[in-house]
Amino acid sequence: MDLLNTLVEKGLRRELPSREEALAVLATSDDELLDVVAAAGKVRRQWFGRRVKLNYLVNLKSGLCPEDCSYCSQRLGSKAEILKYTWLKPDEASRAAAAGVAGGAKRVCLVASGRGPTDRDVERVSRTIGAIKEENADVEVCACLGLLSEGQAERLKAAGADAYNHNLNTSEATYGDITTTHTYADRVETVRHAQGAGLSACSGLIAGMGESDADLVDVVFGLRELDPDSVPVNFLIPFEGTPLADEWNLTPQRALRILAMVRFVCPDVEVRLAGGREVHLRTMQPLALHLVNSIFLGDYLTSEGQEGKADLDMIADAGFEVEGTDTTTLPGHRGGGCDSPCGSAPAPADGAEPAESAEPAVPDAASARTDLVTVRRRGAGTDLAPNA
């Protein structure tokens, strides 16, 4: 199909597709799904081969957040029965991180609930970064602590942090419907703080919150403009006890189309399959590896993922390989060590005709897989071994 051929050619040249082309990917039918995956897979392989980067989450402080993000089980007023605990000590966090590294993780993501860190929190996390690096010098450390104040990104960088994560989550136009205690602009500013300090920026989205195709395209184009090195794509985990508990809007097919659209818009960026993959992709997870080049290993912040060994088996069975610490993730033109051709600079959007808007298939209430939403009861903050 002409659309996919055009998108592959643009992706191989690192050209930005038009907004209409991105919308058209989301509007493709289930009958066209394998063609869409194959096309986006060509772009993925051009820039990342068959490598899969493994990331491991350590929840440093869980629950009791003063922000009101509707999707979050740690939000103000959440009735989700998640683990709640205050800051892990540096040695506790280092032990938790070591489990992920032993499982093959190349990056450890240190996350703490809250609006943003105090200076004392930054010092605490800095000590934790030092403890992790002392044990695993080659591991990448990404911090995710909320909104940053002036100078805090620089302090994290000086402590040894490699990256900072702060997701845009949804489009600017609908952001106020999801969160009222901070703004989309606040999030953009924090990503800019991280980039200004020399940290690798990690910023992504959450799909499945009731947004339109236009909202999805808007947030991905917003991310492209910010130009992070890594774009995590989360699929909403509808926790009981949160305002979005009844939002079951995704099918495996729609989730794959969303991932393909992100790959076409961000061809040479680390696209990470993040929270919710087990819940919404289910047995079609291996197909997603043809679109993304990065996943989380094991459990998430407040929910359990599939067993770490199952992740590794899935990668091997699908014909992919785990990326080692001796390999640079990003292609050469983004500061990595890849010798692939860099292509041309992004081109302006062309005059493609707008795609007809197709109503995505939405699961009915009876098919909602609430059984797959499992609250994390192991790992950080517990006495049980982590899943890695």
73-123 tens-digit pLDDT: 988 888 888 888 899 999 999 999 999 999 999 999 999 999 999 999 999
pTM of the full structure: 0.89
Q: Which of 14, 19, 44, 72 is catalytic?
A: 72
- Select the more confidently predicted residue: 355 or 3: 3
Average pLDDT over residues 157-181: 97
Q: Does 266 qualify as catalytic in the annotation? A: no
pLDDT in the model for residue 363: 64
The mean pLDDT of 59-64, rounded to a whole number, is 90
Give CA separation, 346 vs 6, 201, 334, 343, in Å: 14, 19, 13, 9
> Which tens digits make up the pLDDT trace of 217-252?
999 999 999 999 999 999 999 998 899 999 999 999
Give the active site residue among 19, 107, 109, 254: 109
Residue 378 has pLDDT above 80, yes or no: no
Q: What integer pLDDT is reported at residue 87 of this predicted model?
A: 94
* pLDDT (average), residues 114-136: 96
159 confidence band (pLDDT: 50, 70, 90):
very high
The arithmetic mean of pLDDT across residues 202-231, rounded, is 98
Q: Tell me if 278 sits within 8 A of 285, measured CB to CB.
A: yes
pLDDT at 384: 81
As a whole number of angstroms, the distance between CA 101 and CA 114 comes to 26
Q: Please compute the mean of the pLDDT values over residues 319-330 and round it to a whole number.
A: 95
pLDDT of residue 301: 83
Active site residue 65: yes
CA angle 94, 105, 276 (to 5 degrees): 100
The answer to whether residue 168 scores a pLDDT higher than 70 is: yes
CA distance 13 to 123: 43
* Amino acid residing at 65: C
Among this protein's residues, is 338 annotated catalytic?
A: no
Confidence of residue 348 (pLDDT cuts 50, 70, 90): very low
- Which residue blocks in the chain are alpha helix, DSSP H? 2-12, 19-26, 33-48, 90-102, 119-135, 152-159, 175-178, 184-196, 213-226, 252-265, 277-280, 285-288, 308-317
Decide: helix, strand or coil at residue 294.
Answer: strand
Instruction: Give CA separation, 67 vs 70, 180, 325, in Å.
Output: 9, 8, 36
Q: Which of 14, 107, 124, 272 is catalytic?
A: 272
Could you say which of 19, 107, 142, 187 is catalytic? Answer: 142
> For the segment 351-361, what is each residue's pLDDT rounded down to a tens digit?
333 344 445 55
The one catalytic residue among 14, 19, 44, 65: 65
Question: Element (H or E) spanning 232, and its range?
Answer: strand 230-235
Q: What percent of the chain shows pLDDT beyond 90?
A: 78
